[in-house]
Structure 1
Amino acid sequence: MSLRIVPVDLKAAREFVALHHRHNEPPVGHKFSVGVAEGSELVGVAIVGRPVSRVIQAEGATLEVIRTATDGTRNANSMLYGAARRATFALGYDRLITYTQVDESGASLRAAGFRVVAQRPPRPGWDTPSRRRTNKADNVPRTLWDATPADITRMESAT
């Protein structure tokens, strides 16, 4: 059976992330979510929202892939990143970013037209006395990736 992109609401995406994501909890909100299915079975989700960084949010034309999760189905993650990228640009945004932990290869991101922008050092997290938060990925160095319409045009002309 082949994989296909399917719509998925936030509730279903959050439930899938809670079951399948290795190190993060489901996010609270989103701009949109997308799924990938094999037959009638959901095998992966991507949740896209406003950038977590207030500095990047201030730019206004950027979205962030906040979470992806799959059940391990081959190529599902690449399809999710590609679908998120296409939807982001179709909605008029100029940039799509995401982060990976440094021990993750990024093969799915490269396949979907993303490029490494920066290496980020470990940070203590987003917890503050006025807004308590915990995250299993705190204190972990990360890689920042992005995709822009120009990157995609360059990638497609190379094939």
Structure 2
Amino acid sequence: MVISPVAVQTAWAFSAWTHRYLAPPAAAEFVIGVQTSDTTLVGVAFVDRPAFWAFDDGSTAEVVCLSTDGTPNACSALLGAAWRAARAEGYRRLIAYTRVDEPGTSLCAAGFRLVPSPLGWGTSRSGHVARVLWEIRVAGGRA
């Protein structure tokens, strides 16, 4: 697989075609794609500033949408590339959410960790589906 730039319009169309339950985001700070060796687009990731104001500290970015066609390892490749790109732009933390019923296997493979729920907080309700927070940080640093 090859990480590649992708036009926002192409990413929107791809996400609308492949994503199971979310519409593509209206905006993103950057979008990346992953292609097979024959240049077939198999996934896109949209990264933007965090939607939740408490995380919008200037050093945190959020994966607001990740869509693939089911190609093995495409999600982990995109998440790893999103983290490298976010770090290159000066971010020290990248967050993402999964539905509570999703295992987060690709996030774990890309080095993300599940954020513990402080004092019972930890799931947000977006579209009436509970979500959990994942993060990856610069080693030894605080966001």
Q: Would you call these one fold, judging by a TM-score over 0.5?
A: yes
Q: Partner residue of 1:56? A: 55
**Partner-residue secondary structure (3-state), 1:25:** coil
**Partner-residue secondary structure (3-state), 1:86:** helix
**Where does the alignment leave 5 or more consecutive residues of structure 2 unmatched?**
none
Q: CA RMSD in A?
A: 1.3
Percent identity between the aligned chains?
Answer: 47
Q: Partner residue of 1:96? A: 94
| 1: CA distance, partners of 2:135 / 2:61 | 10
Aligned with residue 110 of structure 2, among 109, 112, 135? 112
CA positional deviation for 1:107: 0.7
Q: Partner residue of 1:143? A: 132
Whichever of the two has the greater Rg, that structure is 1
CA deviation map 1:40-86 (0-9, x unaligned): 110000000011101111x1111000011001100000000000001
**Where does the alignment leave 5 or more consecutive residues of structure 1 unmatched?**
126-137, 152-159
Instruction: Give the 4+ runs in structure 1 shifted more than 2 A.
Output: 118-123
CA deviation map 1:92-129 (0-9, x unaligned): 11110000001111110011110001453353x5xxxx
TM-score, length-scaled by structure 1: 0.81
TM-score, length-scaled by structure 2: 0.90
Q: Partner residue of 2:123? A: 121
Q: Partner residue of 2:82? A: 84
1:103 and 1:61, CA in 2 relative to 1: closer, same or farther beyond 3 A? same
Contact (CA 8 Å) 2:124, 2:132: kept in 1 or not? no
The letter of the residue matching 1:7 is P
